[in-house]
Amino acid sequence: MGLIIDLRNQHLVVKVVLAIFHGGNDMFREIVGFRQDELGDWVAELSCLHAQYVRHRPPFQIRPWVLDDDERNSRVGTLLSCSLCDRCQLPEGVVLDSVVGPWNRSTLPKGLLSAHKVPAGKWGVLKVKRGSVQFDIQVAPPMHLQLSEGDSQAIPPEILHNVNPGSDAELEIEFWTR
């Protein structure tokens, strides 16, 4: 058991060192489970609701651990870098849970103007109904977007972001989950 914990830590340290080496703070997400696709390739399911292939295909992809039930299960709870979160890409298979708003600059809850997060297990989608909205989010690299009427912007769970509506703006926020 001690050995397993050590290996996990080592794995995490390598990931963090790699992230620093690449000069970014890539988004790391917890593995919540594994499944196989129709071809038998293994897919890690992540806490952000994204899924990521973890294939063992030597010599290009070396992950012999994924073929072993015990070793694979021991990776549940460890972290994987999720580039789909860094790109703010809404996961497949999510369903609309609730909608808040519409708000304009004066009715927007003040907490949304400063840095805040969508809760774990949910995605936000900012919808600009009218005018323009400045949107900033701390993905890697950080995004600073000027959104206009008709634009939609997906917001990953647990990532600091803030919105700044223009004086003519109206917006609402959808929450999506699985």
Minimum distance of Zn ion from residue 7's CB (angstroms): 24
Count of residues of this chain found to bind Zn ion when the rule CB under 5 A is applied: 5
Q: Is 51 in the site for Zn ion (CB under 5 A)?
A: no
The region of 1-9, 41-49, 122-130, 164-172 touching Zn ion under the rule CB under 5 A is 41-49
- Our CB check for Zn ion shows the closer of 46 and 173 to be 46
DSSP notation for 129-141 = EESEEEEEE-SSS
- Our CB check for Zn ion shows the closer of 90 and 163 to be 90
Half-sphere exposure of 117 (CA within 13 A, CB side): 10
Phi, psi at residue 97, to the nearest 5°?
Answer: -105, -45
Q: Is 155 in the site for Zn ion (CB under 5 A)?
A: no
Q: Is 161 in the site for Zn ion (CB under 5 A)?
A: no
Cα dihedral 95, 100, 102, 104 in deg (nearest 10): -130
Give me the residues paired with residue 123 across strands.
Answer: 176
Q: Tally Cβ neighbours within 10 Å of residue 52.
A: 17
Q: Is 50 in the site for Zn ion (CB under 5 A)?
A: yes
Q: Is 44 in the site for Zn ion (CB under 5 A)?
A: no
Q: How far apart (Å, rounded) are the C-alpha atoms in residues 33 and 72?
A: 9
Minimum distance of Zn ion from residue 23's CB (angstroms): 20
Minimum distance of Zn ion from residue 177's CB (angstroms): 14
Interface of this chain with Zn ion, residues 107 to 146, rule: CB under 5 A: none
Q: Is 82 in the site for Zn ion (CB under 5 A)?
A: yes
Long-range CB contact pairs, 91-95, < 8 A, 24+: 91/48, 91/49, 91/50, 91/51, 91/123, 91/178, 92/51, 93/49, 93/178, 94/49, 94/123, 94/176, 94/177, 94/178, 95/176, 95/177, 95/178
Q: Is 48 in the site for Zn ion (CB under 5 A)?
A: yes
Q: Is 90 in the site for Zn ion (CB under 5 A)?
A: no
- Our CB check for Zn ion shows the closer of 97 and 168 to be 97
- Our CB check for Zn ion shows the closer of 45 and 174 to be 45
Residues lying near Zn ion in the complex (CB under 5 A): 48, 50, 82, 84-85
